[in-house]
Structure 1
Amino acid sequence: MSLRDLAVLYLIAGLACAVAVYRAARPDGHGARRAALSAALCVPLWPIWAPVALTAGRGESGARPGGAGGEAAARVLGALREGVSACVGTSFEALLSREAASRIEAEVTRAAARHAELDALLRQSGFDEGAAAARVAEIERGGGGAGARSLATAHLHLENIRRLRAMRDRDARALDELADLVQALRTQLVLARFAGSSVEGVGGIVSEVWARVEGLGAAIDAAGSAGYEEPIET
């Protein structure tokens, strides 16, 4: 099977997932736009986003479809494809080859998957920051006769939730900043192609993209090797 055949199969699977996600959302009124965005994200990111979107109805009703990480990842992948196309057959092809784009896509997909996992986790009732903070306040007021040990446990639980939230938000910011940068790279490459700009004018932004991508990968690898503290239920 050729690469083109695989791409067609991937697209068909993405479209099928998009239809399933849209139908599962049962869009109504303002929800139609939200459901359409969630379905659109499934086309390029169906292995990551479809499972999350299809189970989102069992989470909090106010959750954003796709989340910031999924939206940013979709922007990165779209801009990368256009950037690679703009480079084909030009002197810029060595700066952003298909192989290089594949490596960037792999890191972005990995970061988006972690963000989606953290986002889904933090929607669960056991990871409610407000409830955890309320429990700390209750113990500090002396409610239920809880002692110092219970207070320490409640504080640890709250701190763990806040650390997980900080990780999720940091991933979202990193993906969003990378998306802006890759979109700028795309327009720079298109401009260079038609205006005849030099390779040197594009090299700087390519280097910055790689620095951001390597930063994403390093953050995920560091978190994976260190692990994180499991929140303790009180």
Structure 2
Amino acid sequence: MSLRDLSVLYLLAGLACAVAVYRASPEGRRRAALAAALCVPLWPIWAPVALTARRAEPGGAPGTADAAARVQGALREGVSACAGTSFEALLSREAAARIEAEVARAAARHAELDALLRQGGFDEAAAAARVAEIERGGAGSGRALATAHLHLENIRRLRAMRDRDARALEELADLVQALRTQLVLARFAGSSVEGVGGIVSEVWARVEGLGAAIDAHGGASSGEPIET
């Protein structure tokens, strides 16, 4: 292979990485375009850094909007890879739409919980301080202490729900992206349907888990009291 051929291959690889980085970037269009442009000459170094970057929400929680977008993009590419092949029954457009709907529900609940927990009445530190204050008050504060403990526990449970939703969406996004690459590989390498079926089953298990969690705790983020 000549130097010219190697240069063409290097350039094509750089362009492919640039497209991937632009599409995966959580930044605005201008910054995404800059990151993509850097990939063309520097893709062996820059592409792994850019593609593994994760946007985080305030407080360190994973960005659920980003996770939902990653799921949507990977699903659409997976559906396209399946079209007209024996894998089409494993990931139809209807199935992808159902997954997207469950992910949207989970992302919406996470956003609602996150907004709720940013309000003053749901400050965990303030609630814990109130418990400590009542405990220092001594005798005659039993009922007030029980109420303060209940308030603190409810806040902690709401925070746990929010963080669990964020983790579940991030994990599902990673899994759906793996499914996408598995389907693309199967299409071009001629892998068996059985080789793809396992990861599809895992995706559905995660999706059903998301839906069950939302249905089981649907009232927690809509003002209904949490039973203890």
> Considering the TM-score relative to the shorter chain, is it more than 0.5?
yes
Q: 1:216 aligns with which of 186, 210, 215?
A: 210
The amino acid of 1:139's aligned partner reads I
Answering whether residue 141 of structure 2 is matched by residue 155 of structure 1, we say no
Q: How does 1:95-174 map to 2 (within 5 A)?
A: 95-142=90-137, 147-174=141-168
Deviations along 1:123-161, one digit per CA (max 9) or x if unpaired, are 111111011001111111118x97211111111110000
Q: Distance in 1 between matches of 2:81 and 2:122?
A: 45
Aligned-pair Cα RMSD in Å: 2.9
Contact 1:139 1:146 in 2 (8 A): no
Q: Distance in 2 between matches of 1:183 and 1:34?
A: 16
Paired positions, count: 176
Determine which structure has more spread, i.e. the larger CA radius of gyration: 2
Q: Distance in 1 between matches of 2:226 and 2:194?
A: 48
Calculate percent identity across the aligned residue pairs.
81
Contact 1:95 1:203 in 2 (8 A): yes
Contact 2:68 2:103 in 1 (8 A): yes
Deviations along 1:174-203, one digit per CA (max 9) or x if unpaired, are 111111110110000011111111111101
Aligned residue for 1:182? Answer: 176
Q: Post-superposition shift, 1:87?
A: 0.8
Using a 3 Å threshold, how does the CA distance of structure 1 residues 123 and 82 change in structure 2: closer, same or farther? same
Contact 2:79 2:88 in 1 (8 A): yes
TM-score after normalising by structure 2:
0.70
Aligned residue for 1:19? Answer: none
The amino acid of 1:105's aligned partner reads E
Aligned residue for 1:91? Answer: 86
TM-score after normalising by structure 1:
0.68
Q: Please, which runs of 5 or more residues in structure 2 have no aligned partner?
A: 1-24, 33-56
Q: Post-superposition shift, 1:230?
A: 5.6
SS at match of 1:224: coil
Deviations along 1:11-44, one digit per CA (max 9) or x if unpaired, are xxxxxxxxxxxxxxxxxxxxxx98739xx9xxxx
Deviations along 1:29-83, one digit per CA (max 9) or x if unpaired, are xxxx98739xx9xxxxxxxxxxxxxxxxxxxxx8269953222212111111111
Q: Please, which runs of 5 or more residues in structure 1 have no aligned partner?
A: 1-32, 41-61
